[in-house]
Chain A
């Protein structure tokens, strides 16, 4: 029986504040005596395998539904084009509708609307789900195919795949993408706690507010991790922490050794990371 069962997200709003750095470092630390499942849900730009030097193995394609029009039955009525909210079906009066696969979200509205049932469920590959292992760390990585817009569906597939494996682990760490839109929402949904990694700049502060607002809506308790705490202006983040009543849980100084380790592709070892990991252990 595994005891510690929680899903912890590492997020932050702004890009490049050190989300993956923190996520991999915590995973590396906890893995000393725990089994850690790390989910890299930054499908646009997954990097955790690079930092941990884990070789990835393809598990499955991330597949989305794609409308498939049977032109032999089509009566050229244009209903499918009318109902499509994604402008994925173009119809000119009297002509056959034309599907733009990149735009199709796979919602299936066209299938319902077609009076002669000539639209079928096809599929398209929009990404790949990978897995890897390093000691006690199991890594599941989502990877969006370049040119495809729907990262959140790849994230969802990775989460579903991970769910089957979770029972073998003590803790699940979720590394999200930058930003606050659908793929981040999808990654954060269902997490018990989130660390918002930020930096002491007006940009870090601005985007921290956005992610804290999102976490509030999602009802995920948040803690702040202030990275590169020794450059810039710490007051900016302190003010937000007070305003939101959220503690700055840990501060990671700006340290050339950290940057160099990261730039070599190694998990960072640091007492601030130990504090976070120690907290999760308790």
Chain B
């Protein structure tokens, strides 16, 4: 059993497109579960032809928000003074706190400090997780943060727990997880516990800078990794620079994927590139070979 997470730092380098094609290729010889950990912008399903209506969804509550019991408030402002997230304002007319739901982290400091127990923490539904079977026979687990809510990292943990259940139940060989752009909380939750990380980059100064930051996080968790240069031929000179960086840093280069408008066409038709056009198969099977997963 191998847990592989795809990361990139920079958005739009092709994480989901690459993950979808790798998953399809892998599923021909192995038992695979695809996992979408990008709860801010979950797109892996779309790349595999799975749409919102195809999932079986379960709402989840991983967050709490502070709420005021007006009848008990003695207007002392202790809650407002203690909040470090700027989530409590003061309503001068009513002379009582106003809670900004968008900023409230649900930490409970205000509740602890309130002398009248006038503040309660209530559970909020801040997202949902879903699962479906792809047309290609393997399952996908996904999740989505409810707009305006916080706690994407926790939703990622829920998704991973759900995926692990499938791994146990169906004795999967590979769990392939697509993470969000960036390097913050949801990405950390995605890569933590992985056996290997694939970083997908592209030949632009921005992507290389973000790749390096992303790899620092991976190193922080002591997880082995390799890189894929996507759209490598849009700037061959810069691709060479990335390759040199990989060589110097002893990073394994798993593959180079060319730019091809057929990737966009495949995407528009909600079809993985390797299914849309067989010409893409060799480049992805080489990557799997390098990963020792053929």
Closest to A64 in B: B84
Q: Which of the 9-residue segments B69-77, B91-99, B245-253, B261-269 touches chain A?
A: B261-269
Interface presence of A101 (CB below 8 A): no
Known: A112-B82, A179-B186, A185-B148. 4 other contacts (CB 8 A): A15-B10, A213-B147, A233-B268, A263-B238
Q: How many residues of B contact A (CB 8 A)?
A: 61
Contacts of A177 in B (CB 8 A): 11, 181-182
Closest to A47 in B: B206
Interface presence of B43 (CB below 8 A): yes
Interface presence of A262 (CB below 8 A): yes
Interface presence of B213 (CB below 8 A): yes
Interface residues of A (CB under 8 A from B): 13-17, 20, 42-45, 47, 50-51, 65, 83, 85-86, 105-109, 112-113, 144, 146-151, 156, 177-185, 189, 200-203, 206-207, 210, 213-214, 217-218, 231-233, 236, 259-260, 262-265
Interface presence of B283 (CB below 8 A): no
> Once the chains bind, are A85 and B184 in contact (CB under 8 Å)?
no
> Once the chains bind, are B9 and A45 in contact (CB under 8 Å)?
yes
Interface presence of B220 (CB below 8 A): yes
> Given A45-B209, A202-B268, do A107 and B107 touch, yes or no (CB 8 Å)?
yes
Interface presence of B288 (CB below 8 A): no
Within 8 A of A (CB), among B181-215: 181-188, 203-206, 209-210, 213-214
Closest to B145 in A: A181
Contacts of A16 in B (CB 8 A): 10-13, 181
Q: Which of A107, A146, A265 is B217 in contact with, Cβ under 8 Å?
A: A146
Closest to B216 in A: A146
Closest to B102 in A: A185
> Once the chains bind, are B12 and A108 in contact (CB under 8 Å)?
no
> Once the chains bind, are A178 and B217 in contact (CB under 8 Å)?
no
Give the 5 A-B CB pairs with smallest separation, nearest first.
A16-B12, A15-B11, A179-B40, A44-B182, A107-B107
Interface presence of B180 (CB below 8 A): yes
> Given A151-B182, A265-B205, do A14 and B41 touch, yes or no (CB 8 Å)?
yes
B264 CB, min distance to chain A CBs, angstroms: 5
> Once the chains bind, are A105 and B11 in contact (CB under 8 Å)?
no
Total A-B pairs in contact (CB under 8 Å)?
199
> Once the chains bind, are B209 and A15 in contact (CB under 8 Å)?
no
> Once the chains bind, are A13 and B41 in contact (CB under 8 Å)?
yes
A55 CB, min distance to chain B CBs, angstroms: 14
> Once the chains bind, are B105 and A107 in contact (CB under 8 Å)?
yes
B256 CB, min distance to chain A CBs, angstroms: 15
> Once the chains bind, are B105 and A105 in contact (CB under 8 Å)?
yes
A257 CB, min distance to chain B CBs, angstroms: 12
B171 CB, min distance to chain A CBs, angstroms: 30
Cα-based distance from A146 to B264 in the complex (angstroms): 32
Cα-based distance from A93 to B16 in the complex (angstroms): 45
Q: Which of B8, B46, B203 is A203 in contact with, Cβ under 8 Å?
A: B46
> Once the chains bind, are B213 and A107 in contact (CB under 8 Å)?
no
Interface string of B102-144 (1 = CB under 8 A from A): 1001111100110000000000000000000000000000000
Interface presence of B270 (CB below 8 A): yes
Closest to B100 in A: A189
Contacts of B9 in A (CB 8 A): 44-45
Within 8 A of A (CB), among B137-166: 145, 147-148, 150, 152-153
> Once the chains bind, are A189 and B10 in contact (CB under 8 Å)?
no
> Given A44-B184, A210-B40, do A85 and B267 touch, yes or no (CB 8 Å)?
no
> Once the chains bind, are A181 and B186 in contact (CB under 8 Å)?
yes
Cα-based distance from A112 to B217 in the complex (angstroms): 32
